[in-house]
Amino acid sequence: MKVKYSLSLAVFIAGLCSIVYELLISATASYFIGDSITQFSILIGIYLFSMGIGAYLSKYFKNKPIHYFIYTELLLGMIGGLSIPILYFIFVTFPISVLQWSCYTVMLTIGLLTGMEVPLLTFAFDSNNYKNFLSNILSLDYIGGLIATLLFPFVLLPFLGLFESSLIFGIINIALGIWVCFCISKKLNFISLAGLISILFLAILLSFSNHLLKNWEEKIYKNPIILNKQSPYQKIVLTENNEKDVKLFLNRQLQFSSKDEYRYHEMLVHIPLLWVPKAEKVLVLGGGENLATRELLKHPNIKQIDVVDIDNAMFDVSKNNAEIRKINQKAAFNPKVHLIAEDAFLFLKNSKESYDLIIADLPDPSNDILARLYSKQFYLLVKKNLKKEGVFVTQSCDVYFTNKTFNCIVNTLGNVFQSTKPYQTFVPSFGNWGFTLAADYPLEMPEKIELPENLSYLDTNLAQSSFHFPKDIPLRDTKINTLDNPLIINYFLEEWKQWKENANYE
């Protein structure tokens, strides 16, 4: 009886490990390849399909089901444990297409082995015990899956990261196989010895994980990494080269370079303030590094700046990292500034405040979570929190290489607000970057343009010329981006892929 209960517990642990592998591989594919909806959908589909194939194939191994279960756990532990290190290596060594097919292959293999686990154990019971224990085994397998889905976002991702989590759960998986082997035979045999050697190998990799990650990630980011932090929401990386150029990356996407970020932030902040020169209350959505806040503090009439960023880790970086603190000029410590760790969509929905100016300093709409922050429904919430005479401004992506995306933002705003006014400027790290003003009154250019004196880039002439678009950057009609139909993702990913191909990125 003890053996049977031990095997039931083994199903729980096995189910937990397998779901963790599935989540780790899907998250890795999303980070490196992008398009999280497609990656998770295809990889989960492959996982479930291959589980079905594995369950079918298990009938050919029912002559020695416990032995084959042990072999399965040892294989799963090695393949699952090495999955993320292998995918990291492939990403820095081979084209993206190789990484994509590698993700599919690893997921297919893990799914096949996972699908064999429960059937193999059920074959180990006689007909009476099968009827009594099958429901217990299945329930423990599903409970293990639930625990895995809770561990992944709240424990594994923020505290261990993808790389170390795969190695640790590989060790757990192999240890499970050894434990089951010992429960059956009451002694260590050749299989147990092979498992112990495998655990030792994964443990050695785990001990060198920081060194391996540092080398691989510096190949990815091209410059020495000075901060590498995994939050529950994103991977935060800071790099600095010999020229003291500090760059911030979120999930591998460049957010700013210290050598030219002032161009972007001066245009983002000071242009809309031309229409609300007496603004007192300002809301910044995103911008947790507090560079937009730095620019807002150059206007002494502003009394309150609320900065809403979903990731509290970004606020910690803006306040505690010496390089970022130097760049933002300690803006996060100013008493006018209130840092609010909350999702921008939910904040606007629940807020009863009214602002003179709302600034959306958000990442590009590269996935479903970000695409909703460029939707008609989001802009309706912005409008709800904007004073009648207020102005809204949002970053609007590259106006040349992602022109459909840019125009989709402009047109979606135009569906909500009475008036929109796009403008652009050149930021060397990014290209011709677009912004869009929106308000419920005609946005005629102010007769008098007054700017703070201590700006590094923006002047009166540039402020006026930034609203002029050359002939090869068309302002055209697109469909409206909505929560129900987030087509802006397709626009963005299609244009981004085309840009990479033209630039011989791969």
Catalytic residue among 141, 311, 361, 398: 361
Q: Which helix (H) or strand (E) holds 281?
A: strand 281-286
Residues tagged in the binding site annotation? 234, 265, 289, 309, 343-344
CA distance 286 to 248: 14
SS3 461: helix
Hey, how many other C-beta atoms are within 10 angstroms of the C-beta on 200? 11
Q: Residue ranges of the alpha helices (H) in 434-481?
A: 460-465
Strands 281-286, 253-257: parallel, antiparallel or unpaired by DSSP?
Answer: unpaired
Q: How far is CA 340 from CA 234, 255, 310, 351, in A?
A: 17, 20, 8, 12
What is the distance between the alpha carbons of residues 237 and 249, in angstroms, rounded to a whole number? 5
- Sign for the CA dihedral angle at 478, 479, 480, 481 comes to negative
Paired residues of 341 in beta bridges: 309
- Residues in the annotated binding site for S-methyl-5'-thioadenosine: 234, 309, 343-344
Annotated binding site for spermidine: 265, 289
Q: In Å, how far from its chain's centre is CA 221? A: 16
- DSSP letter for 333, please: G
Tell me how crowded residue 24 is: count the other CB atoms within 10 A of its CB. 24
Q: What DSSP assignment string belongs to 344-404?
A: HHHHHHH----EEEEEEE---S-SHHHHGGGSHHHHHHHHHTEEEEEEEEEEEEETTTTHH
Q: Name the residue among 87, 77, 265 with its Cα closest to residue 167.
A: 77
CB 302 within 8 A of CB 336: yes
Amino acid at 368: D
CB neighbourhood size of 378 (10 A):
25
- 306 classed as catalytic: no
Residues with active-site annotation: 361
